Amino acid sequence: MNKIRVFVSGAMGKMGQEVIKTILAQDDLVLVGAADTRGQGRDVGYLMGIARVGIDVSGPLDLEILKSSQADILVDFTNPQSVLKNAQVAIKAGVVPVIGTSGLDEDDIAKIKAAISKKGVGAFVASNFAIGAVLMMRFAREAAKYLPHIEIIELHHDQKLDAPSGTALKTAEWIAQVREPMPQGHPDEFEKLPGARGADFGGLHIHSVRLPGLVAHQEIIFGGLGQTLTIRHDAFTRETYMPGVVLAIRRAYKLTDLVIGLENFLD
């Protein structure tokens, strides 16, 4: 059986370490490299407190390191400042990047597409790798056809940098596919404190909560005549995302175009 060769960027981050543990547990995946600014030259397993795996942390990702690893896939959970450059390096090296960092804007996506068109190597981007979160968004889009009065509340740990979350924005975008922009609430309502009603997305309001103790949570509340419907997803550990990461690696292998969203890999 040919194994998919995986290189992990941001290897010493919390998500990176979880990805490495997951890769090591799969029969069809093999870890061939790990990049990070921390722990350079030391065995990644040793740094994680598990058995040595024979892969040293290489330092920041570069073209020669990635080429020499003969990787098929680069999994990148770094940050928006690094992920675009890493994706471009991966594509130039003939490696498919699987990107799990929120914060990429339209210009970043355009640059990734340009790199793909030159090299013919695909890429995969997802704002959320939790399969349950993807289903939450799918169910929300269906419910919005019948209950168009909607508010989104997303709750994350207090170290998250962006607000609203990528998942909340994508949820609103999916809902917008079936719901026309419309005002909600009293036409004469006013905010006694600016921002009290949250961010406005076509009349739909998005509220961001940041507190220690949270991981990643979102609920969509639909209001109708004499009723409400709430669809909620909770991620309690980073293990939540690993089935989606493995699915993405397996399906992104040998991609030749850009695919955005894990929903594209759910049959």
> Alpha-carbon distance 98 to 127, whole Å?
11
> Alpha-carbon distance 119 to 256, whole Å?
9
> Alpha-carbon distance 190 to 57, whole Å?
54
- Determine contact, residues 4/249, Cβ cutoff 8 Å: yes
- Candidate list 156, 205, 217, 233, residue with the active-site label: 156
- Candidate list 21, 92, 119, 160, residue with the active-site label: 160
* 160 catalytic per annotation: yes
Instruction: Report the helix count and the strand count for the chain, using DSSP H and E.
Output: 8, 11
* Phi and psi at residue 236, to the nearest 5°: -100, -25
Tokens 């989104």, residue located: 152
| Span between the terminal Cα atoms of the chain, in Å | 24
> Alpha-carbon distance 187 to 190, whole Å?
9
> Alpha-carbon distance 35 to 61, whole Å?
6
The total of other beta-carbon atoms located within 10 Å of residue 27's CB is 7
> Alpha-carbon distance 186 to 152, whole Å?
18
CB neighbour list of residue 42: distance below 8 Å, 6 or more residues apart = 56, 57
Q: Is 62 left (phi over 0), alpha (psi -120 to 50) or beta?
A: beta
Catalytic residues: 156, 160
